[in-house]
Amino acid sequence: MDLTPRTSEVNAPLAPRKRNTKWGYVALLVVIVLAGGTIVTKFLTSAIDYYCNVDEIGSRVGCEPGRRIRVQGTVEKGSLKSVNNSTNFVMIFNKKTIQVVYEGDPGGIFQECIPVVAQGRLVGEVFEATRIEVKHSNAYVADNADRLKKAEAQVCSPQAG
């Protein structure tokens, strides 16, 4: 029996292959980082509710119709109506108005001639609110006293007519 090694190319042992596992791990890491960044970016941009005054809807970035926003204005005198378990009213700010529909009763101290913040979406010409905030926190009042005074003075003061 001949045990001498064979040197022909047909019977020669294969050279060990270089493994590219390093690049595979790097590619996998890049894919994970990109996917995670995309998900976080989409989540954060969809979670942000822009804060707008009634007069800024459609004219300021972030206050586009169809987008989820928070709108500040004053409930216009004589506009408050309850229809089929929904509350309808007109909000006004800087002489611009918007019709608001809220399913249910806002309760609390909600009434005409007070500043409110409605959270929801503008669908067509109607703002469909999912939340109505009437009482502002002390921090909001301290930071935005001029906005509140301006909003209150526009609708129900004697000179507003």
pTM beyond 0.95: the answer is no
Tens digit of each residue's pLDDT (9 = 90 or more) over 28-84: 899 999 998 888 877 766 556 678 898 988 888 888 888 888 999 999 999 999 888
Band (pLDDT 50/70/90 cuts) for residue 25 is confident
Phi, psi at 35, each rounded to 5° = -65, -45
**Protein fold of 50-160:** OB fold (Dihydrolipoamide Acetyltransferase, E2P) (2.40.50)
